[in-house]
Structure 1
Amino acid sequence: MTENNKSSRNIALSLGALGVVFGDIGTSPLYALKACFSGYHAIPLTQANVLGVLSLIIWSLFVVISLKYVTFVMAADNKGEGGIFALYELVRQSKGTKSASVMLISSLIGGALLYGDGVITPAISVLSAIEGLDVATTAAHDYIIYISCTILLVLFAFQRSGTDKIGRLFGPIMMVWFAVIGVFGALSMLDNPIVLEAFSPLYGVSFFAENGIAGTLVLGAVVLCVTGGEALFADMGHFGRKPITLAWYFVALPSLLLNYLGQGALLINNPMLIIHPFFSLFPKAIIFPIVGLATMAAIIASQAIISGAFSLTSQAVHLGFIPRIRILQTSELNPGQVYVSSINWIMAALSIFLVVSFKHSEELAGAYGIAITGTMVITTYLFWFYLRNIKKWNIVPAVLLISFFACFDLGFLIVNFTKIRGGGWFPILLAAIVAYIMYVWLWGREEIYGHIMDKGLRISDLEPEIEKYLLAKIPGEAVFLTASNYIPVAFLQHLRRNRVVHEKLVFLQVETQNQPYVDSGKRISVKKLKNNVSWVTVSYGFMEKPNVPVAVFQAWNQIAVSRDECNYYVGKVSIKFNPERTDNKFKRKLFILLSSISNNPVDYFKIPEDLVVTIGTGVKL
């Protein structure tokens, strides 16, 4: 690819990133500054307080987004993939068993919290945009809830089109959005340029000194200006680090700073405009087009976190954190772009539920923040292991950097816990449910694995077992899928009951590596055993889709088995509840339920159904 082509592609991807990655943080001006002076965080609207809050917002953007995520965390990509699970896979093998267990639990909680944010972001973004109609007319007030729910329904219905198409459609709209909010913010700022003094961090320090505990609690609203940070990292696999960085520094950051400064200048001149400070930046004559544009931007804001939730789900499936569910690839060029129907519609239902339940964006602001700040803290924790064990940083600079980030992350998180009664309970409850489901699935898989291993057989014991039961060899080729380095129970049942073995026998094990993609030249490993028996190990990255017939075809020169003529033997574990056990009753029932909704391995491994022979194994759990 020539340099001109690379530049053109980076520009196109940067535009697409504006339409997907920056929607969340790009619409924060709709409600962030307003939340600092109303609702749960009400403080006097004085010039000193406005400058103090602006200083906190400015430096939060600089430190949390520019420094932490764009400069450091996004450099910790796992072969191009970002997100908390990708980071976990990158660092987990560098520590001992105890540390790895803590990292696993932290990653499960962080991933679960991100789902909570994915539900709240669409609700608060769309609702706050539609509330702008109140600035122009009171006639639409009674219909704001219905309009918001309709828009959310359309948004989630559109997700099947794929991130690439959505990015191409939404990118130009977000470019217009950032230009508009930047220009009108700048015009307002020129009326009162004193707000430029807010770039001094001393105003933030003075704000805490003058307002005490009330000033500290305002951090619960200030964090709303950086809520898109984790989406930047989670969506990195959709566009790449460089396009996201370019879009941030050249478009998103300047526009956000100008708009926040413009709102601050407006409030210093007229504190009564706190009801809708964002929409008050615009002349009433154009308020309807601005509300329309804000609504489009709010829809796009939701896209950032929804896309991140899809990527997170795909990683969780391949890492074995949740049951196999159907994942649709939406781009031939970018394997990181996926759509997950079940997650999409669960998030849609919960977002609509929040709009109907909370009714106002100020109320939803109380629920917002805990989920994303919790994930930010866990990302910083995992990044510590990345610096020490992957990048080999000395302990002093690593401690200084992580401590600096932790001051912001923990400050935001602790303050947000004061909002639990006002709605913060919702993301905590949702995250707890999701994390528990992940935990039960991991626990149940270990239990089932133990049952199967009791019946399993090591490779070294294969020949004596065949000699013991074999009556005849039959023509043909058979591929037995195995989930471990043991002889699969399905083969043992076939041998012991039918007492025959195919002339060519292959045991095929699929492994998921701790990297998003595996080089095709290193994908297949073949171990030749005696009497036309082969053990094939096929490796995939956690962002790849396994395809067993293709793997068999690629290994043809070594195993001489045809992918279209052999029979694929798949073991099916039928799990039944064991009433005689008295321990973990709820966990066992939940795992059985989760197993029943897990996608058929035949579909997951893309094996033609007419070539599959299923052999069942009963397990009481």
Structure 2
Amino acid sequence: MSHVEPQAGEGGPQGTGRVKPALLLGALGVVYGDIGTSPLYAFKEAVRAASAGGTSAEPAAVVGAVSLILWALIIIVSVKYAVLILRADNRGEGGIVAMLALLGARHARPGTWQALLLVVGLVGAALLYGDGAITPAISVLSAVEGLKVDAPALGHYVVPITLVILIGLFLVQSKGVAFIGRIFGPVMLVWFAVLTLLGIGGIVHHPEILAAANPWRAVDFLTHAGWHVSFAMLGAAFLAVTGGEAMYADLGHFGAKPIRVAWFGLVLPALVVNYFGQGAVLLAEPDAIENPFYRLSPDWAHYPLIGLATLATVIASQAIISGVFSLTQQSIQLGFLPTMRIIQTAQDERGQIYVPVVNWLLAAGTLTAVVIFGSSDALAGAYGIAVSLLMAITTLLAALIALKWGYNPIAVVALNGFFLMIDLVFLGANSVKLLEGGWFPLVLAGLVALMMLTWKKGTALVEEARVALRLPEDVFLERLRANPPVRLPGTAAFLSSATHGIPLHLSRFVERSHALTEQILIVTALYEESPTVPQSERAEISRIAPDFYRLTLRYGFMEDASIPEGLACAVRSGLLPEHFIDDLTIFIGHETIIPKSDHRGMSDWREKLFAFMQRNGERTGAFFCVPTRQVIEVGTEIEI
């Protein structure tokens, strides 16, 4: 584990100096797409909950809801995430996977506290998949529902229109988002400007809503409304901060400074002003509770606003989809998921990837959510519980990182304990929505967590089996001397998952063919617990025997491991002579997993699940960018 000193979260692309406008625009589109579209549904759901489902809003409920949302944005997003959590970076990268790498939980031994921490962290990562299925559904639905404000008869078309938009969104993922990405920022800039103007219009007409700036208005309403109404209101108000976790997840793309400047300089003021404006509308028109956001705008602007809102929610959906792709890539490279086909959609920009399997599984989950729930009101019950649990896990992991970095334990426990208490309150409030739909993202997250934990355990069992079968280097060399094989011209590179011993497919190849090339390389590609590895540290080589070498290539968990690129790097560094890669054949072990029924490793059904994932994973050669014409696979059966 590489030691990473505590930083101020400035290790990303823009750590010091002036903030580039391009980074600010990019952060608006990618980081704040989700939370930026929350005004479409969050305030409406909070007031409906506070009004116990009534058709008109009570003034106390309106002011209480605005006050609660305001202070949730300040405490959870502004203080916890923007000021504190962004400091817990792994050389500029953020997210749950980066946290697990910082804590060294990846190689935890079973039965240790780090092993428990790994389980908790993987559950947190899996929750992002549940969030990724719900966010596009509720965002696009809430935008399209604006059609019902002027034309209630169009209500029957909301779900079909939403499905068409979402299907189109998932279809274009394979084309890459380079073009769409260029318009993300400017569109969201217009969106936040419109949010601000609409909110100002409402506040000017009914400035008494400004009383909601007093936090005691929220406290007073919650303490007198009864626990059932209070919990429902807390759970609904939490929708206003969902998407705040993207600040940390996207830290590596933009850096902490642009993210903070965009939040405090534009996003937070626009959101607050709009929520106050919606509150002002409801104070004047209590029956506007059905859709206070669209009631903020003049009649002539409804349809243009629906178009802009739909575009903004598509951008928010694209951001969460791209985030899930990135999380999948990191999880694969750190050994939490099987290898999958990952397509780079932009050669000159890191992070522009497409993962076909994940795209269509996510599409299935999102479209199912739209069909099952049918409206943003119904989906509000499913939304929030996964994010609130993820935020609680993030707070816990951040506390452990702070302790590891040597911060004062009393200060860490006091500060993170305060935020964890708030997270748990919101989690408890959202848990009452479990039967209303909260089960949906939890089921999705549970399935992903099960696959992650099964894959992690299964790969450990396979490695144990390999160790038992793998020949030590001295034994293998002695066998070669005792029974010399036929020497063939050229170089053979044998890919290996270990940094010692002889790969199974190398010993099996010699055993069955009685032949070996003149030059031999054992190549191991390792993913480090840091985002990137400098080119100067990419390759290490050790000599096993004359013309017999072990080459170790190191990559960060945000990089693609390319064996041809690593070999070329070794040649450029002078570690390998160039003729080693002129006539190169790469041998890869093709392992067939045979589940055993002795229950020593995992239960039968989990072993079968692992074997299924292993069979259907991406081919090793393709994953490591090896040209097909250079690959020879050697089969081995391994029992677990």
Contact 2:50 2:65 in 1 (8 A): no
| Structure 1 residue 219: Cα displacement | 0.9
Which of 28, 37, 47 is 1:37 aligned to?
Answer: 47
Q: Distance in 2 between matches of 1:570 and 1:94?
A: 25
Cα shift readout 1:245-286 (whole Å, capped 9, x = no counterpart) = 222122211110000001111112221110111111011122
- The farther-off stretch of 202-211 and 576-585 is 576-585
Structure 2 unaligned spans of 5+: 1-13
SS of the residue 2:433 aligns to: helix
Whole-Å separation in 2 of the counterparts to 1:40 and 1:166:
39
Amino acid at match of 2:88: A
Report which stretch shifted further, 495-504 or 21-30. Answer: 495-504
Q: What's the CA shift for 1:53?
A: 1.6
Mapped to 2, the partners of 1:614 and 1:160 lie a distance apart of: 29
Of 300-309 and 579-588, the range deviating more from structure 2: 579-588
**Would you say the 8 A contact 1:459–1:487 is kept in 2?**
yes
Q: Once structures 1 and 2 are overlaid, which stretch shifts more, 583-592 or 173-182?
A: 583-592
Deviation at 1:161, TM superposition (A): 4.2
Among 140, 160, 163, the alignment partner of 2:174 is 160
Secondary structure of 2:370's partner? helix
Shift in alpha-carbon separation, 1:234–1:388, aligned structure 2, 3 A: same
Q: Which residue of 2 aligns with 1:369?
A: 384
> How many residue pairs were aligned?
617
Question: Who is 1:328 aligned against?
Answer: 343
Moved more, 354-363 or 336-345: 336-345
Who is 1:443 aligned against?
A: 457
Paired residues of 1:567 and 1:612 also in contact (CA < 8 A): yes
Structural mapping, 1:308-323, within 5 Å: 308-323=323-338
Q: Contact 1:534–1:559 at 8 Å: present in 2 too?
A: no
- CA distance, structure 2, for counterparts of residue 407 and residue 519 of structure 1: 41
Matched, 1:344 2:356: no
Are the equivalent residues in 2 in contact too, given 1:238–1:334 (CA < 8 A)? no
- Residue 54 to residue 39, structure 1, CA distance change in 2 (3 Å): closer
| More displaced 10-residue stretch of structure 1: 545-554 or 592-601 | 545-554
Could you tell me which residue of structure 1 aligns to residue 160 of structure 2?
146
1:577 Cα offset (Å): 4.2
Is the CA contact (8 Å cut-off) linking 1:70 and 1:245 kept in structure 2? Answer: yes
Letter aligned with residue 554 of structure 1: C
Superposed displacement of residue 579, structure 1 = 6.4
User: In the TM superposition, what is the alpha-carbon distance from 1:322 to its structure 2 partner?
Assistant: 0.8
Displacement of 1:497 in angstroms is 2.2
- 2: distance between equivalents of 1:246 and 1:281? 27
1:132 to 2:146 alignment: yes
Q: 2:294, 2:446 → 1: CA distance?
A: 37
Q: 1:186 to 1:150 in 2, by over 3 A?
A: same
Partner of 1:81: 93
Please say if residues 152 and 352 of structure 1, whose CA atoms lie closer than 8 Å, have aligned partners that are also in contact. Answer: yes
Aligned twin of 1:47: 59
SS in 2 for 1:334: coil
Corresponding residue of 1:613: 632
2:21 match: 11
> Cα deviations across residues 201-240 of structure 1 (Å, max 9, x unaligned)?
2222212221130213311001100100122222233333
| Structure 1: distance between partners of 2:167 and 2:259 | 28
SS for the counterpart of 1:529 is: strand
> Matched residues in 2 for 1:65 and 1:191: separation?
29
CA distance in structure 2 between the partners assigned to 1:49 and 1:457 by the alignment: 72
State the shift of 1:43 in Å.
6.8
Aligned with residue 590 of structure 1, among 592, 609, 615? 609
Task: Name the CA distance, whole Å, in 2 between partners of 1:264 and 1:611.
Answer: 66
Distance 1:41 1:611, change over 3 A: farther
The alpha carbon displacement at 1:57 in A equals: 0.6
Unaligned runs of 5+ in 1: none
The question of whether the paired residues in 2 share the 8 Å contact of 1:115 and 1:309 is answered with: yes
Normalising by the residue count of structure 1, what TM-score does the alignment of the two structures yield? 0.95
Give the distance between the partners of 1:520 and 1:618, measured in 2 at CA. Answer: 36
Q: Distance in 2 between matches of 1:386 and 1:160?
A: 37
The alpha-carbon deviation at position 59 of structure 1 amounts to 1.0
SS of 1:509's partner is strand
Q: 1:573 maps to which residue?
A: 591
The one of 204, 228, 237 aligned to 2:252: 237
Structure 1 equivalent of residue 371 of structure 2: 356
Cα offsets for 1:359-398 (capped at 9, x unmatched): 11111000000111111111111101211113x1010111
Shift of 1:578: 4.3
Letter in structure 2 aligned against 1:564: D
The one-letter amino acid of 2:84's match is F
Q: Distance in 1 between matches of 2:246 and 2:89?
A: 14
Q: Aligned equivalents of 1:451 and 1:445: distance in 2?
A: 10
Cα gap change, 1:506 to 1:256, in 2 (>3 Å): same
Instruction: Classify the secondary structure of the residue corresponding to 2:225.
Output: helix
Secondary structure of the 1:503 match is strand
> Deviations for 1:464-523, whole angstroms, at most 9, x for unmatched residues?
232234244333222111101221001111222223333222111111100110011111
Write the letter of the residue equivalent to 1:615.
V
* Matched residue, 1:206: 220
Say whether the 8 Å CA contact 2:191–2:308 is kept in structure 1: yes
Conservation of the 8 A alpha-carbon contact between 2:173 and 2:354 = yes
Separation (CA, whole Å) in 2 of partners of 1:318 and 1:75: 24
SS of residue matched to 1:116? helix
Check if 1:22 corresponds to 2:32. yes
Instruction: Provide closer, same or farther for how the CA distance between residues 38 and 469 of structure 1 changes in structure 2, counting only shifts above 3 A.
Output: farther
Q: Which residue of 2 aligns with 1:602?
A: 621
**For residue 558 of structure 1, what is the amino acid of its counterpart?**
L
With over 3 angstroms needed to count, the CA separation of the structure-2 counterparts of 1:165 and 1:103, relative to structure 1, is farther
In structure 2, the CA distance between the partners of 1:95 and 1:568, relative to structure 1 (3 Å rule), is closer
The answer to whether residue 440 in structure 2 is matched with residue 426 in structure 1 is yes
Distance 1:340 1:284 in 2: 42
> CA contact under 8 A between 1:553 and 1:562: conserved in structure 2?
no
Give the CA RMSD over aligned residues: 2.2
How many Å separate the matches in 2 of 1:42 and 1:26?
26
Moved more, 163-172 or 269-278: 163-172
Q: Is the contact between residue 552 and residue 562 of structure 1 (CA under 8 Å) also seen in structure 2? A: no
The superposition leaves residues 82-140 of structure 1 with CA deviations (integer Å, 9 ceiling, x where unpaired) of 21111211222699752221221011101111100110011011111111111111231
Aligned partner of residue 292 in structure 2, secondary structure: coil
Between the aligned partners of 2:385 and 2:17, the Cα distance in structure 1 is 39
CA distance in 2, matches of 1:95, 1:602: 25
Separation in structure 1 between the aligned mates of residue 582 and residue 156 of structure 2, nearest angstrom? 62
Q: Larger % of helix: which?
A: 1
SS of the residue aligned with 1:538? strand
Change in CA separation of 1:161 and 1:9 when aligned onto 2, cut-off 3 Å? farther
Within 2, Cα distance between the matches of 1:155 and 1:39? 32
Output aligned runs, 1:447-596, within 5 Å.
447-484=461-498, 485-556=500-571, 557-560=574-577, 561-578=579-596, 584-596=603-615
Residue range with higher mean Cα deviation, 403-412 or 72-81 = 72-81
Distance 1:41 1:191 in 2: 23
Q: SS state of the match for residue 323, structure 1?
A: coil
Shift of 1:7: 8.2
Residues 620 and 92 of structure 1: is their aligned pair in 2 closer, same or farther, counting only changes over 3 Å? Answer: closer
Matched position secondary structure for 1:278: helix
Deviation of residue 158 (structure 1)? 2.6
Distance 2:595 2:108 in 1: 35
Deviates more, 1:376-385 or 1:570-579: 570-579
Q: Is the 8 A contact 1:15 1:175 kept in 2?
A: yes
What is the percentage of aligned positions where both structures have the same residue? Answer: 39
Bigger shift: 472-481 or 53-62? 472-481
Q: Which amino acid aligns with 1:51?
A: V
Q: CA deviation at 1:168?
A: 1.4
- Within 2, Cα distance between the matches of 1:120 and 1:483? 37
Task: State how far apart, in whole Å, the 1-side matches of 2:628 and 2:50 are.
Answer: 58
> Which SS does the other structure have where 2:351 is aligned?
coil
CA distance in 1, matches of 2:247, 2:180: 16
Deviates more, 1:560-569 or 1:103-112: 560-569
